[in-house]
Amino acid sequence: MMAENLKGEKMQRFISAEMKDGRRWMSKISFFAIVFLAVLGALLWQKPTQAADCPDVRVVFARGSGGERWVDKNYLAFKDSIESKLKTTDIDYEFVDLDYPAVGIGMDAFSLTVGAFFGAGDTYEFGRSVDAGVQELANLTSDRICQNTKYILGGYSQGAMTVSKALRDIAAERIIYAATFGDPKIYLPEGKSWGAIPFGSNSEKNFMQTGTIPAACRNENLSEYRMYVPDCYAYEGLLGSYRPYQPLSYAGKVGTWCNKGDIFCSSRFSTSDHTAYVSEGLYEDASRVIFDKICKAFGVKNTVSSPHDTAILIDSSGSMSGMIEQYKAEALRLAKKTLEAGGRVALFDYRDLDDPYEPVMHCDFNSCDLAIIRERLNMIHTEGGGDAPESLLSASFHVMKSLKWKQGSTKSLVVLTDADFLSPDRDGMTFDEVVSLSKKIDPVNFYIITNSESAKNYTALATATDGKVVSNFDELELLTDYIVERYDSLPKVEENTNPIELPELRLTGTQYLSEDTLRITFEVNMANTKDVLVILNDYLLGKTTPINGNGEITIGGLDRSITNVVALVPFGEEMRGVAATVKIEPLESQTESITKNVPKAPNTGKN
C-alpha cells in the first residue's frame, strides 16, 4: 500500500513536473506567438507612418478648360511663383498638375446668336470632367502613406470649380490653403444690391444693408476669402455659385482671385481678363499669401519680402528740431533696407500750408538711390511752424498722386512728425478723400511715427489705411523691420458709390415638347439687357437675343435620368445680371419647378 502510495506520489510529481515543463514550453510558444502576431499585425494593420520620400508640402494645381498637363501657362506661373519662395527654406516640397480631363467649355459659344439649342447630351462631359477632378483631389489628399504631408490647392477656371467643389470632400486638417482664380462658381454675397427688402426676411438681407449700392462698393462686409476681386458688384459666378464657398472648417484657409472684368467671376464680361491671370501678376500676388501660410504651418521664418514702394514724408516744421536727426537716421535705415530688398523709395518733406510751404519732392521711385537719399536727407532743415497742427492731409494726398506706384507692390507712406493734422486741411482736403485715394491705389498703408501726445490723433488714419502708429523711439527699428518684411495682397475691392442698374430676367413659363425637350420663355428689362446666355448643368450652350423684351429657348437631348439645371444669364452693354434657373427633376419624379436663385446666409449654407 505504501509502495503504491509512493508510486502514486512519484507519478504525481512526474505529472506535475511535466505539466510545469509543458507550461514553460507553452509560455515560450505563447510568447513567440504573441510577438509573431504583433509583428504581423503591425505589418498588416499599423497606421502608416510618413515615408522617407514623402514631401512636407504637396502643391496641387487644377488647370482650366483645355489646358495641357505640365505645360499649361497658368500651372507654370503658379508653380514658379511659389517655388521661388520655397527654395529659400528647408521645407521639402513637390508640385502636381492634377491628372483630370479639364475638357473645353466651348468659348466659341460666345459668338453664337441662336434661338434654339439641341444635342445637350454633350454638356455632361464638362460635369464629368469636374467630378473626375474632385475625385482625384480627394484621392490625393487622403494619401495614408504620406499622412503627414500637407497640401496647397490651386485652380484656374474649371480647375477653380474643381477645387472649390472638392473642399466639401477633403479633411481641412490636410490643407494649408486653397486658392481659386477666375472661379465660375464664386460666391460673394457682399456684391448683391438688395433694394427695399424688409429686414429680418429669410435671405442674405440679414447680412447686407438695404440699398442699390452693394456693401462691397462701400468696402464693407467683405468675405474673408475675398483676396482680390476689384469688381464690387461681383456676386456669383457665370455658372452659379457654391454655397457656402468657404466651408466652416476652412476658416482662414481659402482665398479667391477674380481679375477685374473676368466674365466668369465678375459682373462684367471680359474674356481677355479671364485669360490674363499670368500677365496681371495674380499668381505672384497669391504666392505671397500662400508662402506666408506655409511658413506659419511649419514654424519657418518668412524671409522673402515682396516688392516694396515706400514713400517717406518728413515734417520739417520748427518744432521738429529736437528730434529731426533721429528721424532722419531711421528714414535712412528704412530706405537702405527697402532698396536692398529690391524695393523703391521716394522722399518728401512738408510743413503747414499757412507757412506758406508746399510739399517738396526730393526724389521719386525712379531717382532715389541710397546716395541721393542720404544727400537729400542732409538738405532737409527745420523751420517755421509754431501753430500746430500741420498740413499732413494735403501733403499725403499730394505724395500719393505724384508718384507712379508699381502694380502688385506693397505700398507704404511713412510719416515722421511731432504734431497733429488739420481736418479738413487749409486747402479743403478731407480725411475721407485721403483714405479713399489710399484704397484706390492698392491701398497705400500709412505708418505714422510721432510723439505720445499726438499718437491717439493718428489712430483713425492708420486704421483706415491698414497701417500703424508708433510713438516710442525704441519702437522705430521694429516698425522699420515690419514695413520691409511684410507682404500685402492687392486690394480686395475697388470702392464705387455710383449706383448701377444690372440687367434682369424673369422666367414666365416652361413646356415639355417631348420627354427630353423643354421650351422656356422669359422676359427681360430691355433697357439694360442685350443678350441672354444659356447654361445647362455648368456648361455654356450659347446665347439668344430677346425681341421686344421677350425670349424663348428650346433645349433638347436632355438626360432625364438625372436632375438638370438650366440657367439664363442676362447681359447688358457692360454688365451681366444674376442667373434665373429652371430645375428639371429626373423623369421618374415627373416634377419640374421654376426658381430664382434663393439667397442664403453667407458662409453658412443655411436658408
* CATH number of the domain bearing residue 549: 2.60.40.10
Average pLDDT over residues 17-34: 46
Residue 42 falls within a domain, yes or no? no
**Predicted local confidence at residue 41, as pLDDT:** 47
Residue 41 falls within a domain, yes or no? no
Residue 75 has pLDDT above 90, yes or no: yes
Residue 15 has pLDDT above 80, yes or no: no
Q: d(Cα 589, Cα 569) in Å, to the nearest integer?
A: 27
Would you call 429 exposed, middle or buried from its count of C-beta atoms within 10 A (0-12, 13-18, 19+)? buried
- Of the pLDDT bands very low, low, confident and very high (cuts 50, 70, 90), residue 499 is confident
- Of the pLDDT bands very low, low, confident and very high (cuts 50, 70, 90), residue 474 is low
Residues 249 and 313 in one domain: no
Average pLDDT over residues 123-152: 93
Residues 102 and 140 in one domain: yes
Residue 449, all three cell numbers: 511715427
Q: Of 298, 332, 352, which residue constitutes the final position of a domain?
A: 298
Bridge partners, residue 415, by sequence: 313, 448
- Collect all residues with Cβ–Cβ distance below 8 Å to 40 and sequence separation of at least 6: none
**Predicted local confidence at residue 112, as pLDDT:** 34
CA angle 133-138-139, nearest 5°?
A: 100
Residue 395 falls within a domain, yes or no? yes
Average pLDDT over residues 273-297: 94
**Predicted local confidence at residue 409, as pLDDT:** 86
Residue 220 falls within a domain, yes or no? yes
Residues 284 and 365 in one domain: no
**Predicted local confidence at residue 472, as pLDDT:** 66
Average pLDDT over residues 490-495: 83
**Predicted local confidence at residue 563, as pLDDT:** 92
Residues 250 and 290 in one domain: yes
Count of CB atoms situated within 10 Å of the CB of 503: 24
Domain encompassing residue 567: 505-596
Residue 11 has pLDDT above 70, yes or no: no
- pLDDT, tens digit, 9 for 90 and up, residues 334-383: 999 899 888 899 999 999 998 889 899 999 999 999 999 999 999 999 99
Average pLDDT over residues 43-47: 40
**Predicted local confidence at residue 178, as pLDDT:** 98
Looking up residue 74, the CATH number of its domain turns out to be: 3.40.50.1820
- pLDDT, tens digit, 9 for 90 and up, residues 247-264: 999 999 999 999 999 999
- In 3D space, the residue among 559, 528, 560 whose CA is nearest the CA of residue 546 turns out to be 528
- In 3D space, the residue among 278, 58, 282, 270 whose CA is nearest the CA of residue 153 turns out to be 58
Residue 425, all three cell numbers: 486741411
The gap between the terminal CA atoms of the chain, to the nearest Å, is 97
Residue 94 falls within a domain, yes or no? yes
Residues 248 and 322 in one domain: no
Q: Of 249, 278, 298, which residue constitutes the final position of a domain?
A: 298
Count of CB atoms situated within 10 Å of the CB of 460: 13
Looking up residue 445, the CATH number of its domain turns out to be: 3.40.50.410
Residue 565, all three cell numbers: 439645371
Rg (CA), the chain: 33
Q: Of 451, 485, 519, which residue constitutes the final position of a domain?
A: 485
Residue 28 falls within a domain, yes or no? no
Residues 141 and 222 in one domain: yes
Whole-model pTM over 0.85: no
Q: State the total domains in the chain.
A: 3
Residue 457 falls within a domain, yes or no? yes
Q: How far is CA 410 from the centre of its chain?
A: 17
Percent of the chain with pLDDT over 90: 59
Residues 318 and 437 in one domain: yes
